[in-house]
Every structure is written in C-alpha cells, then in structure tokens.
Amino acid sequence: MKTPHLAAALIAATLAGGAVADEVQVAVAANFAAPMQKIAPEFEKASGHKIIASYGSTGKFYAQIKNGAPFEVLLAADDETPTKLGKDDGAVATSQFTYAIGKLVLWSAKPAIVDANGEVLKKGSFDHLSIANPKLAPYGAAGIEVMKAMGVYDGLQAKIVTAENISQAQQFVSSGNALLGFVALSQVLKDGAIEGSAWIVPQKLYSPIRQDAIILAKGKDKPAAEALMKYLKGDKAKAVIKSYGYDL
C-alpha cells in the first residue's frame, strides 16, 4: 500500500515528466518501409512512445481505415488519400503535411540491363515487367504514366506483371520472376548506391509523388500520434528520409 507521501511524489513525477508513454498504430506506405524502420527506434528513444507499424499499399489502407481499422496515423504514398480522409471526417485535416516526395526508378537486379535513358523499354527485350497495382499504389500509376509518355505502353501490356504493392513489385524483380520493374528509389538505394542497374525516371514523365502524413480519427488528441508527426518534421527524421533518395 502506497503512503500518501509516496503517492503524491509519484503524481508529481508523472506531471513533471509530461505525457505517459503510449503506442501509436501507424499505416505506412510500402515504399517507406526501410526509412520507417530506421526512424522508429530513434523516435521511440526520443519520445518514449512505441510505434506499431503495418506496411502495405495506400489504396488497401484506405479501404481498411474506412472499415474501422485501428490505425491512428497514415503515412501515405500520395496526397490524395489523406485529403479524402480529412474531408470525410476519417482524419484530422489540419494535421496533414508532405513528409516526402518519392522518386520512381526502372530497376533490374542484374547489371547492364537497364540503360541510363530507359531505352530498354523501347527495345522490349525482356519477358516480364513488374509494377505495383496502379489502382492501389501511386508508384504503379506513375509507371503507367511513364510508359504512356514514352509511347511504349500498348506494346508492353502483355509483359506487365501486376503486384499487390510496391514491395511485391520489387520482390518480383529481385527474385528474377521479372527482369525489370518500376519501383521506388528508396527500395533499391543502399549506402548511396543502387545494386543492379537502374534508370531514375525524369520527373517530367510522371506526376509528382507527394507522400502525405495525417492523423486519423482514432489518433485524434493522442499524444503519441502528435509526437510522431512532430518528429517526422524534425531534422533527424528528414536526414533519414533524404538518405533514401526522397526529396523534401
């Protein structure tokens, strides 16, 4: 049994220490998995809060959130999905901000397959091209935009292998099931270099991939959710994000 003096001391210590540590359930776009896995332990160390992260396609997360999934923060692969959620009371609209701007690459796990200008797409000398589902994943939609801009989409449709999300699209290529594919630069950039061969697609060939974060309805007024959003805007998180090839 606590004495009155001890109870008072504990209350005072709690108040002095600020908010009690908590968990935050975060839905994270698959392309942002690697940066998030670096950011999470640093955030936890700095804040005392713990991140429970799930990774997948933004389109699937939207459906899950609308059906009552327990996510409190969404780190999307686009800016449209958070905006939609903010408009229909599925999220706190005023919390939305762009945490990263993604870059699309045409990538092969093998060297000397993808040239510096993406001409391999015009030659068509491959059996399979992997992309994420363009209806669910912004990077997949961007890949379609690029092929149409280059005038090769119609000729390549039969070779396209559609993955559930950008992680699976990358796996198809890394496993050899597809010789090349459109993926996020963040997935193939390691220590400033790209393994295999790649073409970083010029921005003029596809719409900007603005990746927005937002506090969801279930995270409203929760200190852990607010702390994560604040941390993502800080210098330490920005340095990690930039190291994976994203623009800010």
| 7 has a pLDDT exceeding 50 | no
Q: Report which DSSP code applies to 68.
A: T
What value does the mean pLDDT of the chain take? Answer: 92
pLDDT tens readout for residues 76-104: 999 999 999 999 999 999 999 999 999 99
Separation of alpha carbons 52 and 26, rounded Å? 6
pLDDT reported for residue 191: 82
CA 166 → CA 9, 42, 60, 94, 112, distances in Å?
A: 51, 25, 12, 28, 23
List the domains of the chain with CATH numbers.
4-101+209-243 (3.40.190.10), 104-200 (3.40.190.10)
pLDDT tens readout for residues 65-78: 999 999 999 999 99
pLDDT reported for residue 121: 98
Separation of alpha carbons 108 and 11, rounded Å? 58
pLDDT tens readout for residues 163-200: 999 999 999 999 999 999 999 999 999 888 998 999 99
| Average pLDDT rounded to a whole number, residues 44-67 | 96
pLDDT tens readout for residues 198-211: 999 999 999 999 99
Q: For residue 42, give both structure tokens.
A: 């640093």
pLDDT reported for residue 20: 65
Burial of 119 (0-12, 13-18, 19+ CB in 10 A): exposed
Q: For residue 86, give both structure tokens.
A: 């903010």
Residue 24 near residue 73, CB atoms below 8 Å: yes
Q: Percentage of the chain surpassing pLDDT 70?
A: 92
Q: Where are the alpha helices (DSSP H) in 51-107?
A: 58-66, 80-87
pLDDT tens readout for residues 109-121: 999 999 999 999 9
pLDDT tens readout for residues 141-161: 999 999 999 999 999 999 999
Separation of alpha carbons 43 and 52, rounded Å? 12
pLDDT reported for residue 15: 38
Q: Percentage of the chain surpassing pLDDT 90?
A: 90
Tokens 């409190």 correspond to what residue?
Answer: 72
Dihedral sign, Cα of residue 24, residue 25, residue 29, residue 34: positive
Angle, CA of 68, 65 and 74, to the nearest 5°: 135
